[in-house]
Structure formats: structure tokens, C-alpha cells
Amino acid sequence: MLKLLSSLSRRQRGYVFLAIDLLLIPLALLFTYTVQSLPISPLEALWQTMPSLPYLMAIAIAVSWWLGLPMVQLNAYERHAVARTAMLAGVLVVASTGLSQISAQELPLGTHVMFGISYFLFVVCSRVFLLQVVTMIYRRARPRRRVLIYGAGTTGTQLAQALRNHDGIDPVAFVDDNTSLQGMTLLGLPVFPPAQIAKLVNDRNINRVLLAMPSLSQPKQAQIARRLQKMRLEVQTLPSFAQLIGEEALVDKLTPVAPQNFLGRKSADVTLGDAVTSYQGRVVLVSGAGGSIGSELCRQVLACQPAKIVLYELSELALYTVHQELVQLAEGGHIDIVPVLGSVTDPRQVRKVLSDHRVQVVLHAAAYKHVPLVEANPLPGLANNVFGTQTLAREAAEVGVERFILVSSDKAVRPTNVMGASKRLAELVVQDLATRHEDTIFTMVRFGNVLGSSGSVVPLFQEQISRGGPVTVTDIRVRRFFMTISEAVQLVLKAGSEARGGEVFVLDMGKPVSILQLARQVIESAGYTVRDGDHPEGDIDIEIIGLRPGEKIEEELTLSGDLIGTRYQKIFCAREERLSEIEVAAVLRGLRHALAASDEDAARMVVARWVEGFARLETGRKTS
């Protein structure tokens, strides 16, 4: 039956409603004659009315259609059509009175009024009945999710009312701490004490609880949520009933955090100024285009009005996502956006892409950057970060690319982990190529942690908070430099325009930020309190888990501290020693042999030999 109803068009359903309304006219007349004290029987009175019945129905059709009654959907009837139905009934009272006089059928005025009232009630009841039947059939075909509403006050009852006809959610009962409400029935739903939640979950197949207590503080709500989550229940809050009525997704309780709040300094100016001219009308290739930095590079380059952007990315999903976004952003801008799926370690594909698209500027952001993962997988990390950079940079020089900008990291300065060492080696490779290829300007940009990027600390803290904690910090002494994604990309693009060849650009990032203090800020920004010895009633614990292999207490931005200013405020150029061409060749040869033999120890020895500050061989070994 549900399939049949669904297959009908809106106009066809309107005809069905109209037919029902017409059939109710003789039924309402018969009912009226039955309850009225007439000198003749009800059937005889109805028979006498038969000659005027077609005229009455014709009037009903015209007026009903004019009022739009047949086109009103069942679930909207109460709000939009009850008053119109009363108008139709009033018109029929006047019509039946007039037709009665014309046909010489002597019926008192009260009979006609009773007919109008009966017809109105019949139509309204028929719509309500049809809605209940259709709803019942629909819900049997598509079971709703059964939920508990925690909070039986005004907010909870409003929520239950809003969910009454919801397609996907079925409120089963209320739960409330208020003993005066326990045992009552509100809107047809019983109110239970919290102690009975476990029993309700088992008996009534409930797996979600909706918290409807906006007056309760967030820490208290968090405590309730953690207690319910231990029962394997999904816990959700609703900030506005408009979201629910609009059938939007229920949201969790975590408040979004603005990354710039945690910098410990003012954000740098993100306008590019005259640096735009270095990318305007050019063909720009962005490697790692689907990553956090790479995708923001693409967005800001797009704003510079390049002739073409080549998106070079290893991840199919990331490439698809960034390509779709950029196509929408560039709509009507006549900018060619080319997605290329591939690895920077493939020299044949790299050369073909650079040649076919006549690339003029390369922004190299492709890298394995997560310290613990690269530490656990040093050979793939070195292969991608070192030899991928060498391949892309070498081929860029061979085909005559004008500018090559490497995105580096503060972890490259005296690194104690493989990821940082691989970025330092990538810098040395680029610096070596800069001395041997005058036609291509090679440069690199070094900066600290990027707030909000994938795998960065703030999203990790937010995820831990959403699970109820604890928030993990490796050491209370750890401090890091931070910048926003927009600042990082601004630095890369400005450095690309400022470069003359072989420079290492760094940003004045202010003072390093304490990770422990950052964890506290993120917890408090989410509306919670830190639970510690001084505040045992707090919401979220901070757990010190110890430094990871290769992790430093503090990072540095330069090897020598010797910085030269540039025409851009807060952007500096670092003076650092380079390896000779023979030394770089020796590094790459040793690494290539270690990779070919899958020898991690040999690879670490090569890195320790040539990278200043790299930890001893034992530091990077996996712990049992």
C-alpha cells in the first residue's frame, strides 16, 4: 500500500482526497438526519435530498479546489487546512439551505447547521485517520531509531513534541533526576529515574540518549555523557530545535576552536601584495595538493589568477576532494585545473607532467610528515621525502621550470627523528641543485607546526575531548612554534617571489607555546574544566605519557641563528652551511644502497653521518 501511495503524483493524491470529501457529504447528511428529530425516517429524508445532492457536490468541488484543500499534504493539514475546511462547511450550509428551499424540502435551519458541523468534523477526522494509517504503514516499512530523552522539563517535552512525527527517531521515554517528575507520564511518555537506564536500554532496544538540559552546565553534561557512554550508548545534545525540525544532523557538544587563539602572538598579515605577480598568468604545479598545506596553496594560488594549476597528488580521495573544491571556486574564472594522480618518486611521470603542461612554478608540499609514523617506517619516509624531492627538483631543472619552492619544517633543524632528518636532507638536495642550475630558482621555506592541519595537536586534543578524555601530553616541558595554515602558505608564496636561489626562508613566529598550556586552553575553549589535584571535580584529565622516540623538548628554526631581513615583515633568510656536490652525491648513494637492501640501520647511519644533530642509531629503534 505504501508503494502505491508513493507512486501517486501530488495531483492524483489530491483527486483521492477530493473523492473522500465528496463521499462524506451524503454521510454527513445521513448522520444529521439520524440525530435530528424529523417526522420522516433518515433514509427517506436522504432520498428526498438526492435531486439536490449533485448540485451540492458540484459546489463542494468548486469551493474545495478554490481553497486548495485537495493539495494540502496530510502532515501539514492541521497547520494549513482546518480553517479552510470550516469555510467549505459554511459554504455548504448556505448552499444546502438554498437548495432545500428551491426543492421545497421543508427542513429547519438547525438541520442545515448541524449538517455543516457534521461535515466539518467528518473531513477533519478522515484526514487525521488517514495520516495515522499512512504513518503506521511507513514506520513498519522503515523502523525508527528508539531514543531516550534525558531531561523531562520544558526543553525535553519540546524535544519530544518535535520528534513526534520524525521519520527516523522514536522517543521511548524520559529520564530525569527530579524525583517529583519520576513516575509521571508526559506527552504519552513515562518518566524514569537515571538508575533504570540500563534496564530500559535492554528491555526497549535503545542505543541513543538525547540530552535536553540546556540549563545544566557543560561540565555536568559531560559527566552524564561519560556515564552513558560507558553503557555503549550514543549521547547527543541539540543546541536548537530548529535544527531538529529542519531534519539537520544532531551535533556533538564540542565547541569549535579558532586556531589563531592558540598562537601566543598576533597572526601575520596574510595579504600577498605584489607577490601575486609571480603566479599570475603562470602554470603552477602543487605537489601534495590534497594535503592541508597543499590544498591551501592551491586556494591562494587560484586567487592569484594563474593560467593553470596542476594538482599532483598520490591519494586518489584527496585529489578528488581538492579538485572538486577548486573547480567550484574557479567557476567562470577561465583557469585550467588539472588533477594528476601520481608519486613524486616516479621520474618518468614527473618529467612528462612538467613537460606536457609547461610548468613554470613548482610548489613542493608532498611529504610524509607525521613523526611517529615515519619513525616506525624510516625507509619509505626517506624514499619519499628525500628522493621524491630530488626527483621533482631535478626534473624541474631539466625541463626549465622557472621557480621551485620546497615546503620544509622546523624539525629539519638538528633533527632527532627520521622525519626531520629527511626534511633536512631534502633541503640539502635543493641547495645543491641551486648551485648547479642557474636557469631555475630553487628555494625552501621552513616553519613550525601548523594549527588545524591533519595530524596536528589541536584536532588530536579535540578528538580526545569528544571521547571524554584524557588529553595526552608527552612531557610538561615540551614547547612548539605554531602558525596558521594561511600564514604558512603566505610565507611559501612570498618566499617564492622573493627568492634568488638557494635561500632558506623562515618566519618570525614569536615565542614557542607550551603544549601543556595549549591542552588546557583547548579543554577550556570546549567548555570543560581540567581535572587535577587542585580540581578533582573537573571534567577532563591531562595525562603525561612520556616523550616519543625521536621527539625533542623544543624545536629550532635555524642552525646558526644568523638571520637576514627581507622586504617582507617577519620573513627572514637564514645563513646556513651547505654540503658540496660530492658530499650530496655521497649521501644519496649511501641512502640508495640502504633502501635497496631494506637496511634501516644502514640508512640511519648515513643520516647520522651527514645531518647535524641527528640522534644516535639507538634513538630511532622501535621499542618493544
Q: Which sequence positions are flagged as catalytic?
A: 411
**Integer Cα distance of 255 and 466 in angstroms:** 10
- Cβ(304)–Cβ(276) under 8 Å? yes
Residue closest to 375 by CA, chosen among 341, 414, 420 = 420
Give the distance, in angstroms, between the CA of residue 619 and the centroid of all CA atoms in the same chain. Answer: 38
Residue 40 phi, psi dihedral angles, 5° rounding = -120, 170
Residue given cell 624539525 in the structure block: 411
Give the distance, in angstroms, between the CA of residue 176 and the centroid of all CA atoms in the same chain. Answer: 32
**Integer Cα distance of 480 and 470 in angstroms:** 21
**Integer Cα distance of 172 and 145 in angstroms:** 10
**Integer Cα distance of 22 and 28 in angstroms:** 10
Q: Coil, strand or helix: which one is 315?
A: coil
**Integer Cα distance of 75 and 69 in angstroms:** 13
Compute how many other C-beta atoms are within 10 angstroms of the C-beta atom of residue 107. 20
**Integer Cα distance of 59 and 61 in angstroms:** 5
Q: Which residues pair with 471 in a beta bridge?
A: 542
Residue 452 backbone zone (phi > 0: left; psi -120 to 50: alpha; other: beta): left
Spell out the SS3 assignment of 553-608: CECCCCCCCCEEECCCCCEEEECCCCCCHHHHHHHHHHHHHHHHCCCHHHHHHHHH
Handedness of CA 231, 234, 237, 238 (dihedral sign): negative
Residue closest to 5 by CA, chosen among 79, 73, 85 = 73
DSSP code of residue 500: -
**Integer Cα distance of 156 and 148 in angstroms:** 10
**Integer Cα distance of 84 and 297 in angstroms:** 59
